[in-house]
Structure 1
Amino acid sequence: MRAGRRRRRPPRFYFSLRSPYSWLAYRDLLDRYPATAAAVEWVPFFEPDELSRKLLAEAGGAFPYTPMSPEKHRYILQDVRRLAGERGLEFTWPVDREPVWEVPHLGYLAAARHGVGAQYIALAARARWELGLDICDRTVIAGFAAELGLDAEELATASDDSGLRAEGVRVLLEIQRDGVFGVPFFVDHFDKYWGVDRLPAFAAALAAKTAADLTGVPDDSGDPLPVPAASVDDGHAGGCG
């Protein structure tokens, strides 16, 4: 490997706790592609509120998202029910009233700081898609704290924390930089995959790259990759938005 060569960022899974297709991709990752789930960086995708939009604009960014039409929303209701049925999943469609998506997503960033981001996502997914709860309700988010071993107020008020707001803006800038326009969205270097139905291709590409890395096959830079001393154990477009 050439001296001074920058290491690539790990492959990324952009998910939204709002999106039913992200929920389906989340279930598929855990149930069908656990090695991929463990290998990717999980990055939250959320529609910014007025404060986040202001901070994002001050940082030179913009949010690449267009609200869906009523026709698309009605289609998604049907499509998600079909896709969930194919997976043997039952769900309750939540009703969002004046949501502030920083509440659950910055709550995720707070949990991730403590090393329990995956557990937080599991609780949020169950609350939203199985119990039909409003995850933009701070009391719902606070209710996760006991099981996570965290402070309830820290989780519930994550959107009021200036440091987490700044981290949220950094995430929104990453969304723009990676060209993410909907979720679920998978990125590995220049390769991008959008939607639940693209997850198998993304997982296969990562598996092939891992196999190449382990055998020292050159990557796209032309430099042979070192062989580790030990083995590594690691439908529909489905884009909501």
Structure 2
Amino acid sequence: MSGSGRAPRFYFSLRSPYSWLAYRELLERHPDVAGAVEWRPFFEPDGTSERLLAELGGSFPYTAMSRAKHLYVLQDVRRLTAARGIAFRWPVDRDPVWEVPHLAYLRALRGGLGPQFVAAAYRARWEQGRDICDRTVIAGIGAELGLDPAELAGASDDPELRRQGALLLKDICDDGVFGVPFFVQGFNRFWGLDRLPDFVAHLRARAGGDGALPPPAAPAVGLGARAVDDGHAGGCG
């Protein structure tokens, strides 16, 4: 697991509505924290990524989502967005392969546009209700950002990005991440949208003085389709 000397981490998923809401709150309310943490994508592996992860000695934490929990998430997210005055649209995922958007993020990061890609992908999924596992959607985001559309849409076919994705999945295992959003600082873990204020307070207390947070020494992410329970804590932790 992460030692106390490592930069704090924010594990996010483009799939998760709770990650989307945490992302918004980080940028709107705590921009210094957003700039001080490493951003780590969390995604459910397909067969290829699962094999690569197993070769690294990891195993992704799968849990099937019950119908009752699925219905609860639908209700809960509608309640949370209404309380925040946020308009959103539920996307429809058809045979999702989550490497398509999440490895595209790594490709965008390589081009210096990682944060812009996250913003565009979240906007496409949660504001426009689009399928971000559709390569044409990812290609459109590439064109919007000035990145090569074919390279972005085909990121999951890139062996090097696949390797980086497997390393990130191994970090998920090593950091004890079991759902999103998930925040890590040293040996301290905070799970769920409602734990974001506690994570922020923890980082500020560690910073001392005026609570100002330094940016990470490295770029804001490290290298490193099935029905599953994303471990959404949402407001219930």
Shorter-normalised TM range: 0.7 to 0.9
Q: Label 1:41 to 1:233 Cα distance change in 2 as closer, same or farther (>3 A).
A: closer
Q: Does 1:172 align with 2:154?
A: no
Indicate the residue corresponding to 2:181 in structure 1: 184
Who is 1:238 aligned against?
A: 234
The yes-or-no answer on 1:87 pairing with 2:84 is yes
Deviations for 1:36-84, whole angstroms, at most 9, x for unmatched residues? Answer: 1111100000000011111111121110131211110100000001111
Which consecutive unaligned segments of at least 5 residues does structure 1 have? 1-5, 216-230
Structure 2 unaligned runs (5+)? 216-231
Distance in structure 1 (CA, Å) of the matches to 2:207 and 2:64: 37
Does 2:148 correspond to 1:146?
no
Name the CA distance, whole Å, in 2 between partners of 1:65 and 1:29: 27
Number of residue-to-residue matches in the alignment: 218
Q: Aligned equivalents of 1:110 and 1:172: distance in 2?
A: 16
State which of 54, 57, 70 in structure 2 corresponds to 1:57.
54
Distance 1:239 1:181, change over 3 A: farther
Contact 1:65/1:182 (8 A) holds in 2: no
Partner secondary structure for residue 18 of structure 1: coil
CA RMSD of aligned residues (A): 2.0
**Counterparts of 1:183 and 1:232, CA distance in 2:** 23
Deviation at 1:180, TM superposition (A): 0.2
**Cα distance in 2, alignment partners of residues 60 and 41 from structure 1:** 23
Q: Is the 8 A contact 1:183 1:239 kept in 2?
A: no
> Post-superposition shift, 1:87?
1.1
Q: Which whole-Å CA distance do the structure 2 matches of 1:55 and 1:204 have between them?
A: 37
Cα distance per residue 1:109-139 (max 9 Å; x no partner): 1111111110000000000001000000000
| Relative contact order higher in (CA < 8 Å, ≥ 6 apart) | 2
Moved over 3 A (4+): 231-234
> What's the offset of the Cα at 1:149?
1.9
1:41 match: 38
**Contact 1:62–1:176, Cα closer than 8 Å, also in 2:** yes
Aligned-partner SS, 1:142: helix
Aligned with residue 197 of structure 1, among 194, 197, 218: 194
1:147 Cα deviation from its structure 2 partner: 2.7
* Cα-to-partner distance string for 1:89-115 (whole Å, 9 max, x where unaligned): 010001111100000000001111111
* Structure 2 SS opposite 1:143: helix
Please say if 1:128 is aligned against 2:129. no
Query: Which residue does the alignment assign to 1:114?
Result: 111
| 1:195–1:237 Cα contact (<8 Å) kept | yes
Q: How does 1:11-50 map to 2 (within 5 A)?
A: 11-50=8-47
SS of equivalent to 2:189: strand
Contact 1:94 1:132 in 2 (8 A): yes
Residue 162 of structure 1 is matched in structure 2 by 159
| Bigger radius of gyration | 1
2:234 partner amino acid: G
Q: Report Cα offsets for 1:129-177 as digits up to 9, x if no partner.
A: 0100000000000111123221111100000000000000000000000
Distance 2:12 2:110 in 1: 17
Aligned residue identity for 1:65: Y
- Give the C-alpha shift of residue 233 in structure 1: 6.7
Identify which range, 42-51 or 65-74, moves more after superposition.
65-74
Counterpart of 2:63 (choices 61, 66, 71) is 66
- Aligned-partner SS, 2:87: coil
Distance 1:184 1:237 in 2: 8
